[in-house]
Amino acid sequence: FMLKYVVASSGSMIVVSNRLPFVLQRNEKGNLVRKASAGGLVTAVAPVVVNGNGLWVGWPGIHLDDPNEPIPESDPNDITPTAGLKSKKVVAVQIDPVKFDDYYNGCCNATFWPLFHSMPDRAVFKRDKWKAYTEVNKEFAKCTIDALKNLKKSGDDVGPDAPLVWIHDYHLMVAANWVRQAAEEQEIQCKIGFFLHIPFPPWDIFRLFPWADEILQGMLGCDMVGFHITDYCLNFVDCCQRSLGCRVDRKNLLVEHGGRTVRVRPLPIGIPFERFVELAEKAPKVLATNQKIILGVDRLDYTKGLVHRLLAFEALLEKYPEHKEKVSLLQIAVPSRTDVKEYQDLKEEMDQLVGRINGRFTTPNWSPIRYIYGCVSQDELAAFYREAAVGLVTPLRDGMNLVAKEFVACQINVPPGVLIVSPFAGAGETMHEAIICNPYEIESASESIHRALTMPEDERILRMNYLRRREKLNDVNYWTRSFLHAMGSLLTQGDHDDVGA
Ligand code: ADQ
């Protein structure tokens, strides 16, 4: 499926992200081995790095005592997109473990994650954690500059254009400016782009961060800054104007800063659509039941609205008892940030709530909630998506939400099921034919579920056809191409090049 579209930039690309697209681990013999990660981002971006003579800069998931210890090549049986990523294409950033913890847990997860999801009460503002954040960003920038220099020396064909640096996500919001400054000082040519995977909050929330100006200045070191949807772009433009006094063009999404014009673009991420279709076609049946399944799949995170979702399901059973013994909620929750107290508390709350609701409604032949706390394989996940009657995606706030997209890709049976999406996820902005449901209002959320369960077949078919068509067209390869297009670096242009269509 990856070869179906030719994605190529006219130069080489350096991808910079907090994590490398695989993690390094030690085997029983103490040797380093790679463990592949299979996210959509990796699937989309790895081929561009592999085919375009690029490099990937990131933390390898382990602190090495000897920073010069060689990175192992991938396992010969590895069929993931990172298999072609030779060690010479990987820069494993090494950071002092204490500093890394301050940066990652202390600032990224404790400050930016809640704040950017418009949950400021949960955000912690600490000067020393922010200092660690800026220092770590600087180290990433330094590694990126070294990588740019090595690229020049490598002798590989790096193409006619300046190399592209593509920085990802809220972990590295101030790295671009350091890269730009050093590149200018050392006369290294490059273009810099940034993509934020989480929402960019409105000015009123953003300004709560005491060093907000520095974040904006950091991001404005780029030539282009991408977000999932137009709302986040406008929030960013607004913050640049109000916080830094920049001249901005809201219509064309441009910000003037330091004598340069920075482009801001909505680039809604997609999924490897065809891969999910293939998985759904091949995966064996997983649900031996004739009950209708309402499916939730999320990292166990307070932004995902899991507690509200369980309460809405409880309200459904109360208000519409005809669904008893006919409908079950299957909630899959992936353990996430398990060493953080807030996440441990959420786990506890979920355990209690599932217990209470099941205790209240379970009969000898049926329990209303099946709760899986753990990871499931991609095959199994595709089968759940395929067999579910309702996909319930109700985050309180979410940058995009890939689960909504994976669900529709796997809905290959006719008649299909129904997708319910929160308007506070990026997906709620673009997946118009879903039932849009405000998760905060428990009663109306329960009515949305009832509506989905009772929707006529022809309406389900119509809605799902539209949803699937859009996701198929705007898949993850399209997203990568849109990014390159927005950077002015797309070599081979295809049949649908309009950014953010
Ligand atoms: P996340 O917050 O991680 O991503 P999401 O977009 O839903 O949220 O992606 C989760 C991924 O994990 C999906 O691909 C899903 O298949 C997988 N997954 C979930 N549960 C699983 C399970 N139990 N077992 C196996 N796999 C599971 C961040 C932002 C999002 C944004 C993405 C991409 O928070 O808003 O959509 O980045 O930009």
398 touches ligand 1 (CB under 6 Å): yes
Q: Are 114 and 123 in contact (CB under 8 A)?
A: yes
CA 16 to chain centroid: 15
| 398 counts as catalytic | yes
Q: Which amino acid is at 421?
A: V
- For the range 339-343, what are the long-range contacts, defined as Cβ-Cβ under 8 Å and sequence gap of 24 or more? 339/105, 340/105, 340/109, 340/110, 342/122, 342/302, 343/300, 343/301, 343/302
Q: Are 496 and 286 in contact (CB under 8 A)?
A: no
- What is the DSSP secondary-structure string of 298-317? EES-GGG-HHHHHHHHHHHH
Taking the centre of ligand 1 as the mean of its atom positions, its distance from the CA of residue 400, in whole angstroms, is 9
Q: Which amino acid is at 93?
A: V
399 touches ligand 1 (CB under 6 Å): yes
Q: For residue 360, which phi and psi values (nearest 5 degrees)?
A: -75, -35
266 touches ligand 1 (CB under 6 Å): no
Rounding to the nearest 10 degrees, give the CA dihedral for residues 96, 101, 106, 109.
Answer: 120
CA distance linking residue 61 with residue 92, whole number of Å:
9
Taking the centre of ligand 1 as the mean of its atom positions, its distance from the CA of residue 303, in whole angstroms, is 12
Q: Are 427 and 421 in contact (CB under 8 A)?
A: yes
Taking the centre of ligand 1 as the mean of its atom positions, its distance from the CA of residue 10, in whole angstroms, is 31
Taking the centre of ligand 1 as the mean of its atom positions, its distance from the CA of residue 40, in whole angstroms, is 9
Run of H or E residues at 358: helix 341-361
429 touches ligand 1 (CB under 6 Å): no
Q: Are 149 and 189 in contact (CB under 8 A)?
A: no
Atom 1 of ligand 1, residue of closest alpha carbon: 401
Taking the centre of ligand 1 as the mean of its atom positions, its distance from the CA of residue 318, in whole angstroms, is 31
297 touches ligand 1 (CB under 6 Å): yes
377 touches ligand 1 (CB under 6 Å): no
Q: Which residues contact 317 (CB under 8 A, 6 or more apart)?
A: 323, 324, 357, 361, 368
In three-state form (DSSP H/G/I as H, E/B as E, the rest C), the secondary structure along 167-236 is: EECHHHCCHHHHHHHHHHHCCCCCEEEEECCCCCCCHHHHCCCCCHHHHHHHHCCCCEEEECCHHHHHHH
239 touches ligand 1 (CB under 6 Å): no
Taking the centre of ligand 1 as the mean of its atom positions, its distance from the CA of residue 2, in whole angstroms, is 20
Which of 197, 308, 323, 485 is catalytic? The answer is: 197
Ligand 1 atom showing the smallest separation from residue 332 Cα: 23
Rounding to the nearest 10 degrees, give the CA dihedral for residues 98, 101, 104, 106.
Answer: -110
Taking the centre of ligand 1 as the mean of its atom positions, its distance from the CA of residue 266, in whole angstroms, is 19
287 touches ligand 1 (CB under 6 Å): no
347 touches ligand 1 (CB under 6 Å): no
Report whether the peptide linkage leading into residue 201 is cis, meaning its omega lies within 30 degrees of zero.
no
Count the Cβ atoms, other than its own, within 10 Å of residue 127.
Answer: 9
Atom 15 of ligand 1, residue of closest alpha carbon: 403
What is the crossing angle of helices 306-319 and 341-361, to 10°?
10
Q: Which residues pair with 330 in a beta bridge?
A: 295, 370
Whole-structure pTM value:
0.94
> Would you state the pLDDT for residue 96?
95
Atom 14 of ligand 1, residue of closest alpha carbon: 402
CA distance linking residue 404 with residue 409, whole number of Å:
9
472 touches ligand 1 (CB under 6 Å): no
Q: Is the ipTM of this complex over 0.90?
A: yes
Which of 228, 398, 475, 485 is catalytic? The answer is: 398
- What is the DSSP secondary-structure string of 448-496? HHHHHHT--HHHHHHHHHHHHHHHHHT-HHHHHHHHHHHTT-BSS--S-
Count the Cβ atoms, other than its own, within 10 Å of residue 322.
Answer: 11
pLDDT tens per residue, the chain (501 residues)?
A: 333 334 445 568 999 999 999 999 999 999 999 987 766 678 778 877 887 778 999 999 999 888 888 999 988 877 777 888 889 889 999 999 999 999 999 999 999 999 999 999 999 999 999 999 999 999 999 999 999 998 777 656 556 678 999 999 999 999 999 999 999 999 999 999 999 999 999 999 999 999 999 999 999 999 999 999 999 999 999 999 999 999 999 999 999 999 999 999 999 999 999 999 999 999 999 887 789 999 999 999 999 999 999 999 999 999 999 999 999 999 999 998 888 899 999 999 999 999 999 999 999 999 999 999 998 988 999 999 999 999 999 999 999 999 999 999 999 999 999 999 999 999 999 999 999 999 999 999 999 999 999 999 999 999 999 999 999 999 999 999 999 999 987 654 443 444 333
Q: Which residues pair with 293 in a beta bridge?
A: 328
Atom 22 of ligand 1, residue of closest alpha carbon: 375
Structure tokens at 304: 């995902």
Angle, vertex CA 442, rays to CA 439 and CA 359, nearest 5? 115
